[in-house]
């Protein structure tokens, strides 16, 4: 197999911060070595082994071991398991495991062979369900993996790395800070920028050593001490905004602690220093944070609570059966809905290219929708959907790329966050379309062909994000 650039598993590991620049990488079953060459070009220390292309290479331990689409080509189940175990023995921090999923086999010609398929060209492929792959990894290694994406899992040996990964998956939202112009802050604004960013992210002053040494020196040179600098910044942030920052950071911490139930919830001493300080400052004790987080997790499993939270959300587009929200606005949802969505992501991992999330309010189900032309097209069409059932714990996929009449979006501004700069442009188009009577029959315009017919009947066309008369 010839590839340009990094494979999906390795790209995911870098994007998720699981593969850090200073860490070593070993590609177990590296094939022709495409990932190795690209990683080395990026400055990583990377080695690999392959039974066919690099059989004489030495198997060595590394911080991160990638077992990329290897288990799905091994026809002997016992050899498949021993390969996974061998790769795990080499991983000192993280093992990345990937396999092909059943929906990828729909257009593959072949015949049944063992627990997989023998293809036309004589190769073997084993296709998994997402939950099946997770369970197989767990039962083989005795360690529960975390889903990175459909078909890709991380198995952590290092608890701190695992908790960093979980914490980084929480969507955050910080409203634009309005600074009080009556306080003389502008002359020090550039020097105090690192401290303002820390206060905005953590809703508390930093402890010595939490800022970068160069940033701390810069702040102290301007104001004399961190304490004095933090005091000045607190004067320019309105009290209501400061309380909002505290509330949002507490919500993020509760979501993180709630999701840690899906792994072995760490002890307080196992948390990173910054995370532990945030929890202690904002909740008093870790026990109190765990108590409130478990209460939130329990509510996310209650259909009535989910329904009420969705109907009370200030963000997202409401329909009779669901709440739709753009991925950029997930951090603005009520915490209960963020936990509801994150429970689905525990099963599926992050779905590549999904930019719209559908939160069902009639059944425990979350769908990740891909509209690749959301920004460019006034009315983009759906390319694919990945649906996670929280009742059956399954992940399904549907491809609309070959459909002649795919679903289509309207009123794009309703999916976005309150301060999103795209809202004005999209809203103007919506008002024009309403005046033209295009929304009188919503049951007809939900798909591409129905929308095109409505435009033709009204004698109008959409150019960019403007409505124009047809000539």
Number of neighbours of residue 42 by Cβ within 10 angstroms: 11
pLDDT, one tens digit per residue, over 289-302 is 999 999 999 999 99
Model confidence band, residue 1 (pLDDT cutoffs 50, 70, 90): low
Average pLDDT over residues 334-338: 96
pLDDT for residue 272: 82
Model confidence band, residue 120 (pLDDT cutoffs 50, 70, 90): confident
Can you give the residue ranges of every domain in the chain? 8-157, 186-237, 303-412, 419-469
pLDDT for residue 238: 86
Which of these, 285, 302, 289, 294, lies nearest to 262 by C-alpha position?
Answer: 294
pLDDT, one tens digit per residue, over 163-172 is 888 888 888 7
- Angstrom CA distances, 129 to 72, 219, 405, 424, stand at 12, 52, 28, 42
Q: Report the alpha-carbon distance of residue 361 to residue 451 in Å, rounded.
A: 26
Backbone angles phi, psi at 441, to 5 degrees: -125, 75
The model carries a pTM of: 0.87
What end-to-end distance do the CA atoms of the chain give, in Å? 51
Q: Report the alpha-carbon distance of residue 416 to residue 405 in Å, rounded.
A: 25
Q: Report the alpha-carbon distance of residue 12 to residue 6 in Å, rounded.
A: 10
Q: What's the fold here for domain 8-157?
A: Rossmann fold (3.40.50)
Residue pair 47/25 in contact by the 8 Å Cβ criterion:
yes
Say if residue 109's pLDDT is above 90: no
Number of neighbours of residue 30 by Cβ within 10 angstroms: 22
Burial tier of 64 (Cβ tally within 10 Å: 0-12, 13-18, 19+): buried
Q: Report the alpha-carbon distance of residue 349 to residue 96 in Å, rounded.
A: 13
The DSSP result for 336-401, as a single string, is HHHHHHHHHHHHH-PPTT--EEEEESSSSEEEEEE-TTTTT-SS-B--EEEEEETTTTEEEEEE-T
Query: Which pairs with CB-CB distance under 8 Å and at least 24 residues apart come from 268-277?
Result: 270/159, 270/160, 270/163, 271/163, 272/160, 272/163, 272/164, 272/167, 273/210, 274/202, 274/210, 275/163, 275/167, 277/202, 277/204, 277/207, 277/210
pLDDT for residue 181: 62
Say if residue 180's pLDDT is above 70: no
pLDDT, one tens digit per residue, over 5-23 is 799 999 999 999 999 999 9
pLDDT for residue 202: 93
Q: Report the alpha-carbon distance of residue 437 to residue 458 in Å, rounded.
A: 8
Helix (H) or strand (E) holding 192: helix 189-202
Q: Report the alpha-carbon distance of residue 153 to residue 141 in Å, rounded.
A: 13
Angle (CA) 298 303 308, round 5°: 100
Pairing of the two strands 152-156 and 91-98 = antiparallel
Q: Report the alpha-carbon distance of residue 277 to residue 265 in Å, rounded.
A: 17
Say if residue 204's pLDDT is above 90: yes
Q: Which of 110-119, 159-168, 308-317 has the highest mean pLDDT?
A: 308-317
**By three-state DSSP, how is residue 267 classified?**
coil
CA–centroid distance for 446 within its chain: 27
Say if residue 4's pLDDT is above 70: no
Higher pLDDT among residues 367 and 193, named by residue: 367
Say if residue 391's pLDDT is above 70: yes
Pairing of the two strands 62-67 and 91-98 = parallel
pLDDT for residue 360: 97
Q: Report the alpha-carbon distance of residue 406 to residue 431 in Å, rounded.
A: 24
pLDDT, one tens digit per residue, over 49-64 is 999 899 989 999 999 9
Quote the strand ranges of 266-333, DSSP E. 317-318, 322-326
Burial tier of 307 (Cβ tally within 10 Å: 0-12, 13-18, 19+): middle
pLDDT, one tens digit per residue, over 405-445 is 999 999 999 999 989 999 999 999 999 999 999 999 888 99
pLDDT, one tens digit per residue, over 73-88 is 999 999 999 999 999 9
Residue pair 211/194 in contact by the 8 Å Cβ criterion:
yes
Say if residue 112's pLDDT is above 90: no
Number of neighbours of residue 284 by Cβ within 10 angstroms: 10
Q: Report the alpha-carbon distance of residue 303 to residue 397 in Å, rounded.
A: 24
Q: Which residue has the tokens 């669901």?
A: 322
Average pLDDT over residues 307-335: 96
Q: Report the alpha-carbon distance of residue 235 to residue 232 in Å, rounded.
A: 5
Which of these, 269, 270, 289, lies nearest to 279 by C-alpha position?
Answer: 289
Which of these, 405, 412, 418, lies nearest to 452 by C-alpha position?
Answer: 405
């Amino acid at each position: 197999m010839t590839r340009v650039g990094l494979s999906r598993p390795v790209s995911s590991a870098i994007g998720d911060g699981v593969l850090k620049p200073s860490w070593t990488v070993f590609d177990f079953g590296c094939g022709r070595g495409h990932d190795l060459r690209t990683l080395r070009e990026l400055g990583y220390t990377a080695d690999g082994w392959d039974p066919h292309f690099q059989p004489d290479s030495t198997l060595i331990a590394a911080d991160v071991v990638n077992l990329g689409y290897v288990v799905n080509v091994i026809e002997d189940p016992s050899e498949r398991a021993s390969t996974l175990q061998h790769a795990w023995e080499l991983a000192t921090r993280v093992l990345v495991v990937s396999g092909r999923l059943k929906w990828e086999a729909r257009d593959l010609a072949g015949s049944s062979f063992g627990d997989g398929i023998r293809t036309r060209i004589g190769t073997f492929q084993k296709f998994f369900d997402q939950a099946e792959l997770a369970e197989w990894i767990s039962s083989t290694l005795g360690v529960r993996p975390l889903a990175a994406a459909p078909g890709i899992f991380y198995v952590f040996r290092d608890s701190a790395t695992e908790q960093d990964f979980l914490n980084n998956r929480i969507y955050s939202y910080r409203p634009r800070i309005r600074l009080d112009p009556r306080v003389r802050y502008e002359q020090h604004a550039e020097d105090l920028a690192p401290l303002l960013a820390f206060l905005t992210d953590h809703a508390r002053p930093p402890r010595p050593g939490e800022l970068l040494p160069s940033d701390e020196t810069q702040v102290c040179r301007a104001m004399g001490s961190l304490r004095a600098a933090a005091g000045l910044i607190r004067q320019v942030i309105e009290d209501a905004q400061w309380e909002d920052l505290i509330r949002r950071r507490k919500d993020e911490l509760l979501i993180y602690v709630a999701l840690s139930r899906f792994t072995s919830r760490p002890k307080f001493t196992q948390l990173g220093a910054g995370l532990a300080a945030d929890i202690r400052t904002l909740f008093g004790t870790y026990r109190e944070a765990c108590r409130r987080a478990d209460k939130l997790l329990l509510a996310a499993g209650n259909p009535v609570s989910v329904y009420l939270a969705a109907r009370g959300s200030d963000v997202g587009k409401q329909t009779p059966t669901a709440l739709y929200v753009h991925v950029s606005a997930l951090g603005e949802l009520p915490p209960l809905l963020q936990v509801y969505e994150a429970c689905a992501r525990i099963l599926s991992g992050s779905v590549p290219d999904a930019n719209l999330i559908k939160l069902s309010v009639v059944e425990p189900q979350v769908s990740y929708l891909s509209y690749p032309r959301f920004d460019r097209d006034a009315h983009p069409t759906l390319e694919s959907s990945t649906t996670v059932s929280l009742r059956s714990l399954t992940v399904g996929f549907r491809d609309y790329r070959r459909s002649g009449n795919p679903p289509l979006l309207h009123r794009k501004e309703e999916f976005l966050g309150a301060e999103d700069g795209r809202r004005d442009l999209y809203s103007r188009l919506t008002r024009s379309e309403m005046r033209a009577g295009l929304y009188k029959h919503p049951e007809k315009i939900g798909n591409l062909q129905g929308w095109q017919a409505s435009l033709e009947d009204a004698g109008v066309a959409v150019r960019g994000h403007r409505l124009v008369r047809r000539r």
